[in-house]
Amino acid sequence: MRVSMEDHVGKSESDAILGLMELKRDPLFRRIPEERRGYYVERSLAFGREAAAERAGRPIGEWLEREGISVRIDDSSGSMFGTALRAQIDWTAAVPRITVYRESMRQLAEAASVFPEMFGTLTPERAADIHLAHEYYHWLEYRSGTFTKDRLDPVETRLGPLRRRSAVRQCGEVAAHAFARDLTGLPHLPNLLDYLYLMHAGELKKENFDEEMEKCRKALGVGGRHMV
Could you tell me the smallest distance in angstroms from the CB atom of residue 146 to Zn ion?
Answer: 16
Which residues, 160 to 179, sit near Zn ion by CB under 5 A?
173, 176
Nearer Cβ to Zn ion (52/176): 176
**Rounded to whole angstroms, how far apart are CA atoms 195 and 4?**
12
Could you tell me the smallest distance in angstroms from the CB atom of residue 6 to Zn ion?
Answer: 27
Residue nearest to Zn ion (CB): 176
Nearer Cβ to Zn ion (86/126): 86
Q: Residue 80 forms beta bridges with which residues?
A: 83
**Burial (CB count <10 Å: 0-12, 13-18, 19+), residue 108:** buried
Is 18 among the residues that bind Zn ion (CB under 5 A)?
no
Nearer Cβ to Zn ion (24/215): 24
Could you tell me the smallest distance in angstroms from the CB atom of residue 172 to Zn ion?
Answer: 6
With contacts defined by CB under 5 A, how many residues of the chain interact with Zn ion?
Answer: 2
Nearer Cβ to Zn ion (63/227): 63
Q: What is the CA radius of gyration of the chain?
A: 18
Which residues of the chain form contacts with Zn ion (CB under 5 A)? 173, 176
